[in-house]
Amino acid sequence: MRAALTQRGEWSAAQAIPPATILVLSILSVLPLRVPDYAAVTPLLPLAGVYYWTIYRPEWLPPLVTFLCGLVLDLLTGAPLGVSSLLFLLARTAVFSQRRFFINRLFPFMWGGFTLLAAAAIAFLWLLGGFIEGAMLDTRAVTLQWVLTVACFPAVSYLLMRIQRRLLPS
């Protein structure tokens, strides 16, 4: 598989992997788990995808693709269109500018970076949501959402790392 995807003809297939994984993470985050109050604190799994690929394969997650990933997430969740696109674009820009601090560093370092990014992202969504709806909401739900997002990161990044090592050229 690795050999196949590293060949020039298969280049575009490999390029589709980052957005495809973000799409899968988006779908996972809207599956109706029947856990009380889960919907409000659903972890922002696709953000982990944006973070990971911006660090390891930014050229395969260009702004346009990032924008489209956000659009698909908004369509899936029923959020106002453009909210996640804006979030992902800003997250990509921020992570890309600090990329050299994270690349090929120990995992806790990368996790720490994501903790900060997730805090900023969720705070941003909270403020933007408040602006759109004209009402600020309880911060407990967003705090729990942040904790869950950060807690899911090791599993997500492990899976993405496996995918990257198996399918993508180094």
Residues that bind other proteins (CB under 8 A): 27, 29-44, 62-64, 66-67, 70, 72, 75-83, 85-86, 89-90, 93, 125-126, 128-130, 132-133, 135, 137-138, 141-142, 145
Q: Which residues of 45-76 are buried (b: 16+ CB within 10 A; e: fewer)?
A: bbbbbbbbbbbbbbebbeeebbbebbbbbbee
Nearer to other proteins (CB atom), residue 55 or residue 142: 142
- Tell me the closest approach of the beta carbon of residue 79 to other proteins, in angstroms: 5
Nearer to other proteins (CB atom), residue 65 or residue 160: 65
- Tell me the closest approach of the beta carbon of residue 59 to other proteins, in angstroms: 11
Nearer to other proteins (CB atom), residue 127 or residue 161: 127
SS3 47: helix
Q: Is residue 56 within 8 Å of 103, Cβ to Cβ?
A: yes
At 126, phi and psi to the nearest 5? -65, -45
- Tell me the closest approach of the beta carbon of residue 132 to other proteins, in angstroms: 6
Q: Which amino acid is at 160?
A: L
